[in-house]
Amino acid sequence: LTLAIAGFAVLIRTTETGGSLKYVFITRCKEYLETHDEVRVGIDCNEVWDAFQSSFVAKDPCKISVEAYDGLMNTAKQKVPCNEMVFWSKTKQMAHKFTQAKKCFMTLEDTLLGFIMDGLTWCGSQDGNDTYTSGCPNWNTCEQNPVRSFWSRASAHFAESACGNVTAMLNGSIDKPFSAKSIFGSVEIKKFNPMKINYVNVVLIGRENYPMSCKNDSLQELEKTLIPKFKYTCTTVLLSTILKCLEDPQKPCGPCWD
């Protein structure tokens, strides 16, 4: 019994010290590097982990600033080719299905850091160096939580580096496809560089029998924000059309809305 209790204590401790988070982080990092020769050079997954965890360990999990991840961004620098960047809002699943099938496009979650952190929750505590994956603040518990600040920082970095023509996949099956409060609206479009970006191409994805239009109020608001600095297009496309296109070998590189 003593042994069993001792074993149990060790198990909890491993999780509490971030054993599982570190394991997932390093495993995903290595998996990404194995399949992406172009980013492999100069990146050490243990160094990336160290930079990541130093952003939030031993700190109040409601006081993690966006800037806390600056060091991490420098450790995991990655160049994304012009014309390939896809931004999205309320279309996560579709955008990722699309970039998985059409390798000439990339979302933030197709970059090293986005790939590692996608779907994870993490935080530290002021009382020690442990890393937690549960009991952490939610997205809206406090603004400066480790997860929200990470995505704001990573999204800002991704958007700053965007060049050429960028694609934004928005959801045509909801009343407000564009929200100024979303990460796309509050972080990414503000970081778009007019010196580097030519077109912002909005693709509004909708379902049959649901009225969608580029004239939607929220899209007019987006257009007004973008138009002084960028060329802008907006195209509506049915989800079924994109799904068919994903399997079309004649269109290895998309796009699926021409």
Active site residues: 82, 163
Task: By CB under 6 A, tell whether 84 contacts ligand APR.
Answer: no
Which of 32, 52, 150, 184 is in the footprint of ligand APR by CB under 6 A? Answer: 184
Report if residue 105 touches ligand APR, rule: CB under 6 A: no
Rounded-to-integer distance, Cα 88 and Cα 85, Å? 10
Q: Is 144 in the site for ligand APR (CB under 6 A)?
A: no
- Which of 8, 23, 139, 210 binds ligand APR (CB under 6 A)? It is 139
Q: Is 59 in the site for ligand APR (CB under 6 A)?
A: no
Please count the residues of the chain: 258
Residue of the chain from 69, 88, 150, 232 that contacts ligand APR (CB under 6 A): 88
Under the binding rule (CB under 6 A), the answer on residue 183 touching ligand APR is yes
Contact mark string toward ligand APR, 146..165, x via CB under 6 A: -----x---x--x-------
Decide: is 93 part of the binding site for ligand APR (CB under 6 A).
Answer: no
C-beta of residue 188 within 8 angstroms of C-beta of residue 197 = no
Cβ neighbours of residue 107 closer than 8 Å, sequence gap 6 or more:
85, 86, 87, 88, 95, 96, 99, 114
Identity at 203, one-letter amino acid code: V
Binding range to ligand APR, per CB under 6 A, among 16-24, 45-53, 178-186, 197-205: 178-186
Question: Could you tell me the two tokens for 217?
Answer: 């109020």
User: In this complex, which beta carbon is closest to ligand APR, that of residue 57 or of residue 117?
Assistant: 117
- DSSP for 184-248 reads IIIIIHHH--TTTEEEEEEEEEE-TTS---TT-HHHHHHHHHHTTTSEEEEEEEEHHHHHHHHT-
* Candidate segments 5-13, 52-60, 74-82, 84-92, binder of ligand APR by CB under 6 A: 84-92
Give a three-class secondary structure readout of 119-186. CCCCEEECCEEEEECCCCCCCCCCCCCHHHHHHHHHHHHHHHCCCEEEEEEEECCCCCCCCCCCHHHH
Helix (H, G, I), strand (E, B) or coil at 107: coil
Closer Cβ to ligand APR, 46 or 220, answer by number? 220
Q: Is 204 in the site for ligand APR (CB under 6 A)?
A: no
Q: Where are the alpha helices (DSSP H) in 64-173?
A: 70-75, 92-101, 112-117, 146-160
Task: Kindly write out the interface string for residues 211-230 of this chain, putting x where it contacts ligand APR by CB under 6 A and - elsewhere.
Answer: --------------------
If the CB atoms of residues 59 and 90 are measured against ligand APR, the closer one turns out to be 90
Q: Closest approach of Cβ 63 to ligand APR, in Å?
A: 19
- Token output for 136: 């952490």
Contact between 234 and ligand APR by CB under 6 A: the answer reads no
Which residues contribute to the site for ligand APR (CB under 6 A)?
87-90, 92, 107-108, 139-140, 151, 155, 158, 182-184, 188
